[in-house]
Structure 1
């Protein structure tokens, strides 16, 4: 796709196989818990571009992704995995020396 090109958020989530169906992708986008480059998103039509950072809860975990490429179709899982890079989320350190395993 051309430089400056974008794709709808729900289509990206579906094409990248993050959501199983397009309606599930729309629900993720419209729930209001997804952040796109730090901004809270409540609409499925929000534009996603290469380099955008997506952070959202999914299946009990918080996922953070950097968009590496825009898809032109919903391809196989191996192709979908090349569209984004998972990012590591920084966990806060325990306060006052309290360990999480204690």
Structure 2
């Protein structure tokens, strides 16, 4: 499905960049390609996977597990206040994800690929 076919969906790597989760689109593609992002609880290794409002991303950034619910697709990399409107941080779920780590789904800081973002 292309962006032209569904304007409410965008590539995962592009969304991570638009939302300022990663500093560059290349770093966001590398993060996803390394298997360090979960989409709706399932491992996702394809940067081109389409995401949209309602999807939930789980990733490690800055030594902590972040769980983000996508609120909007975003169609440009705007200023930080605009990027912050693209997602909601689900803090309670992040704590559960950190406590429920297993060797198969390890998202620990030692296993992370830092995408260079600092959050909001």
What is the TM-score with the length of structure 2 in the denominator? 0.70
Q: Runs (4+) of structure 1 moved beyond 4 Å?
A: 1-4
In structure 2, stretches of 5+ residues that fail to align are 100-120
Instruction: Determine which structure has more spread, i.e. the larger CA radius of gyration.
Output: 1
For 1:90, the equivalent position in structure 2 comes to 95
Count of aligned positions: 92
- Whether the 8 Å CA contact 2:8–2:72 is kept in 1: the answer is no
In structure 1, stretches of 5+ residues that fail to align are 93-102
SS at 1:90 equivalent: helix
SS at 2:95 equivalent: coil
Relative contact order (C-alpha < 8 Å, sep 6+): which is higher? 2
